[in-house]
Amino acid sequence: MTEQEDIAIHMVYLGLGSNIGDRDANLSAALRALAAVVTIEHVSSVYDTAPMLYTNQPRFHNLVCQATTSLTPGALLHAAKEIERQLGRTSGPRYGPRVIDIDLLLYGRLIVNTPALTIPHPRIAERAFVLAPLAELAPTLTHPVLGETMVELLRRVPESDVERVGPLPQP
């Protein structure tokens, strides 16, 4: 067995969102940066969404990407936070406006619950802005804790202000 064969490759789903500046350009820049640390397999359509919880802010553009990686969950989280920083994300109010937000939604069937990281993302089942693009990419994917598909979870979310815009514009 070669050293290369020892490296495990994991399917991951990342949620991206932006509501400051050119939202689509921010999403594109984040995908380009992510492509340096993961292999992006598929990218959902862009969804225009109303902000949740902290509602006095601009609307978001959200998408989900499916990727493969050999990074550990902690290393992937660190890489995502570094990309956010490089693209201009600064600290602000929780759920407040942001240039870019990158969330690790799913990491294979892995379940992680540490102070630094929870996988699956703990609020997937509440968020149409995550479930709509996730169900577009992987409708039959089953949530490893809840045991329901992404489409089933999306059906359970109350009506929300989430509208499919279309594919991310190419630069």
Q: Which residues are catalytic?
A: 89, 98, 101, 103
Which tokens go with 149?
Answer: 């598909």
Cα 162 to Cα 11: distance, rounded to the nearest angstrom: 26
Closest by alpha carbon to 14, among 170, 155, 145, 119?
Answer: 119
DSSP count for the chain of H helices, then E strands: 4, 8
Residue type, 130: V
